[in-house]
Copies of this chain bind each other. A is one copy, B any other.
Amino acid sequence: MTVRIGVIGTGMIGQDHIRRLTHVITGTEVTAVCDLDTARAEEVAASVGARALPTGGAVIDAADVDAVVVTSWGPTHAEHVLAAIAAGKPVFCEKPLATTAEDCLKIVSAETAHGSRLVQVGFMRRYDAGYREMRQVITSGAIGAPLMVHCAHRNATVPESYTSAMAAQDTAVHEIDVLRWLLDDEIRTVQVLRPRRTSKRYAHLQDPQIMLFETAEGVRIDLEVFVNCQYGYDIQCETVGEEGLVRLPDPAGVAVRSAGRHSTAVLQDWKGRFENAFDTEFREWAETVAAGTEPTGPSAWDGYAATVITDALVQALESGEIVHVDALKERPAFYGGASR
């Protein structure tokens, strides 16, 4: 039984997910799409045998849409997710869940009122084989209780439109989600250090940044965000526990010896790095939709937490101060409950 999916937003990431739902994942088909750019929506729809509808609401309400994927412009996410909840349909929303904590809370309230989980947020790292193996090692107890995590998130370059706040909102947000999940712990304080800026990019941009987190359990996390590192796309994560440590692998690639060097290629692009994670993410989500069960991925509460924490990071970057993230202290029972 094929899951029929409506996709709101047919930009680059939307098209990539439509391709994935059509050609990579079995058991799913895209039946309806919409976009502010209606010509683009028509074209994309035609390419996969779907209908282009005028609005997100029309997509959500369509009788041949079992579940919704929201990949439109960030500020419109909340509206579509709330409408999907109102319609009682499962909804996969690309990050951010909403651009304000307030809107995230509205979604949390609506979903809670609905009585079962409908929302999954698109944080794909939880589906990466390396992070999953790392989580297994941590939960197995092999390295003892986690004490520290050292991370780096590096991109070769970013366009001029990238702002200093986006280092938190667009870049670090991935580590925020995956670390909360890896450690099964909540972030309590954030701080941002401003290293000497690279001269290779825009004067307006604080790049790199070092972000410091403290969790409820006292784990200390340092995260280097460096989005113009020139040499490639590079994700590092090392969790240090009481008895050992576990480190994310670099992607496998052939080793070459020539001209006096032993070398392997560094990826240039996040797509290559997390392609498999995206596939697994949608495959597992679609399985829950097909089974009529609750989604098992990042929840609306996780989406809310990510927004609250990235807001705090932006504030910390500007103020230079430690910012407390007290809003997350009381996690509702509906979302695994128990305050920390």
Binding site for B on A (CB under 8 A): 22-27, 129-130, 133-134, 137, 142-145, 147-148, 150, 152, 193-200, 208, 210, 212, 214, 217-220, 222, 224, 226, 229-232, 234, 240, 242-266, 268
Q: Closest 3 CB pairs between A and B? A: A244-B258, A196-B218, A263-B263
With A260-B231, A266-B262 already in contact, the answer to whether A254 and B134 are too (CB < 8 A) is yes
| A243 adjacent to B263 (CB under 8 Å) | no
| B260 adjacent to A232 (CB under 8 Å) | yes
Q: What is the CB-to-nearest-CB distance from A157 to chain B, in angstroms, rounded to a whole number?
A: 11
With A224-B148, A260-B232, A263-B261 already in contact, the answer to whether A254 and B137 are too (CB < 8 A) is yes
With A25-B26, A144-B200, A218-B196 already in contact, the answer to whether A245 and B256 are too (CB < 8 A) is yes
Q: What is the CB-to-nearest-CB distance from A135 to chain B, in angstroms, rounded to a whole number?
A: 10
Instruction: Return chain B residues, CB-CB under 8 Å to A196.
Output: 145, 147, 217-220
Q: State in angstroms the CA–CA spacing of A266 and B263 once bound together.
A: 10
Q: What is the CB-to-nearest-CB distance from A4 to chain B, in angstroms, rounded to a whole number?
A: 15
Q: State in angstroms the CA–CA spacing of A250 and B262 once bound together.
A: 10
| B195 adjacent to A218 (CB under 8 Å) | yes
| B260 adjacent to A266 (CB under 8 Å) | yes
| A195 adjacent to B219 (CB under 8 Å) | yes
Instruction: Return chain B residues, CB-CB under 8 Å to A249.
Output: 252-255, 264
- Provide a sorted-by-A list of 15 A–B residue pairs whose CB atoms are within 8 angstroms: A22-B26, A24-B26, A137-B254, A147-B226, A196-B217, A226-B240, A229-B245, A230-B244, A230-B259, A231-B244, A231-B259, A231-B260, A245-B257, A246-B257, A249-B253
Q: When the two chains form the complex, which single residue of B130, B134, B145, B230 contacts A199, counting CB atoms closer than 8 Å?
A: B145
Instruction: Return chain B residues, CB-CB under 8 Å to A152.
Output: 150, 240
| B137 adjacent to A242 (CB under 8 Å) | no
Instruction: Return chain B residues, CB-CB under 8 Å to A130.
Output: 252-254
Q: When the two chains form the complex, which single residue of B129, B197, B255, B257 contacts A252, counting CB atoms closer than 8 Å?
A: B129
Q: State in angstroms the CA–CA spacing of A247 and B224 once bound together.
A: 15
Q: When the two chains form the complex, which single residue of B194, B199, B210, B262 contacts A263, counting CB atoms closer than 8 Å?
A: B262
Q: When the two chains form the complex, which single residue of B22, B222, B224 contacts A210, counting CB atoms closer than 8 Å?
A: B222
Q: What is the CB-to-nearest-CB distance from A150 to chain B, in angstroms, rounded to a whole number?
A: 7
Q: What is the CB-to-nearest-CB distance from A29 to chain B, in angstroms, rounded to a whole number?
A: 9
